[in-house]
Amino acid sequence: MELLSQIKISRPEGNAYIQLLHGDLTAIPTELAVDILAVSAIRGSYEPVLGTLMSALNNVGVSVAELAEDKDIDLLNQLGCWLSKPLSEAQQHRFNFRKILCFEPIGNVSDAETEAGNLFRGINAFAIDDLHNEVAMPVLATDDQLFPLETMLPILLDTAIFWLDTGLPLTSLKLVLHREDQVAKGFPIFENVRKQYELKHMAEVGLMSANTALTKINILNGTTFTEQALPKMEYALRELVQAETDERIDFTNSRDIDVDDLESVLTPVKPTTYDYFISYSHKHTAAVRELVNALKVRHPDSTIFYDRDNIPTGGLWIKMISDAIQRSKSVVCVLTPEYSKSDVCWDEFQCAYVMEKRKKLTIKTINFCNDADLPPMMAIYSYIDCTEGDMEKLKASVDQIISN
């Protein structure tokens, strides 16, 4: 297996790497051993179709169908994935991975960003400690499955960079291309993303001005800034300029401007910090509104984030939510069966989880409606019991929220 390139993510808790490799995932060498091998399957079907990784694994004696019969953690209903129990000692020694993470899409996915989000919700749910922090996988959801490699790979890389930068306790993500034609398409894409990330990082640490970095990124993309009037570019600008000014930038009127005219539209605004970020399923909006009102009465000077309606959808959403969570002292999660089945709630919880790992905030959970399938990742917290949908208990829980 050949290492083609890698992106180094510098973080306070230690560096992480996104690696691009060429080779066979059934023959991972010892020096590239991982904890988890990620695969994909049609929902409930583990047929070893010729030419697939499932078939290659089956040919060397690793049956995903057999592993599926006795799963370690089953999140099929919530995230469309499950984690196997460890392979036998002999298999681990031979294949250099310990467990299989199998993705089985819940329904039809219409865009690559949604699919990348789904993949990382699954990875994030299991990349939680030193026994689960190195993952290898093909570029899932490509070719005949869903999307062209040229579409999926840059989005997958962008999502991986976001989560590793945020603090996901994953130290290595290995993306493996099996065929030569995949390498020919994928390597230039990976290199372009790597160079853009390194330019942004240089701006963030003060080795390069934001404007210079943006100009170089535009050259890499072969476009001008005027043609990049997209939310992603606006967010990149906001991140880069913040590195120089330590202030948030209002880009309300920033569409269709030239890099040279950037300074004329910058309006510095101070960032808002929050005492509480309330994470909940929108089915329980009315109940949460009562909770927020009670919290304001009990703690009138507190700042609370709980309304997501003014945040745009798409790839920018998760970055803006993460930003709000990072500026919060506590994240209060109102747990219900609908919560653990909501992609939005999973994203919020996982953003809070990685921030808590960095000791940047505390997570407090309220068990509002019992969830028989509450995921282990959420169940480990000592929750405030307000079951079963008891509004008086919910409003009274503010005393525990404030005191703990």
Q: Are residues 60 and 145 in the same domain?
A: yes
Q: Are residues 171 and 146 in the same domain?
A: yes
Q: Are residues 257 and 216 in the same domain?
A: yes
Q: Are residues 168 and 296 in the same domain?
A: no
Q: Are residues 9 and 155 in the same domain?
A: yes
130 inside domain: yes
Ordered DSSP codes for 278-343 = EE--GGGHHHHHHHHHHHHHHSTT--EE---TTS--SHHHHHHHHHHHHTEEEEEEEE-HHHHT-H
Report pLDDT for 247. Answer: 42
Map 131-157 to HEC letters: CCCEEEEECCCECCCCECHHHHHHHHH
Q: 136 near 176, Cβ under 8 Å?
A: yes
Q: Are residues 172 and 213 in the same domain?
A: no
Position 158, amino acid? D
Q: Are residues 307 and 322 in the same domain?
A: yes
395 inside domain: yes
Report pLDDT for 310. Answer: 63
pTM: 0.82
Q: Which domain holds residue 234?
A: 209-269
Report pLDDT for 332. Answer: 96
200 inside domain: no
Q: 19 near 134, Cβ under 8 Å?
A: no
Q: Are residues 299 and 171 in the same domain?
A: no
Q: Are residues 53 and 164 in the same domain?
A: yes
CB-based contacts of 19: which residues, under 8 Å, 6+ apart? 3, 5, 6, 7, 172, 173, 174, 175
Report pLDDT for 318. Answer: 83
199 inside domain: no
197 inside domain: no
Number of structural domains found in the chain: 3
Q: Which residues are bridge partners to 99 per DSSP?
A: 36
Q: Are residues 381 and 296 in the same domain?
A: yes
Q: Are residues 52 and 140 in the same domain?
A: yes
Low-confidence ranges of the chain (pLDDT < 70): 107-109, 143-145, 203-271, 309-310, 312-316, 404
Q: Are residues 99 and 224 in the same domain?
A: no
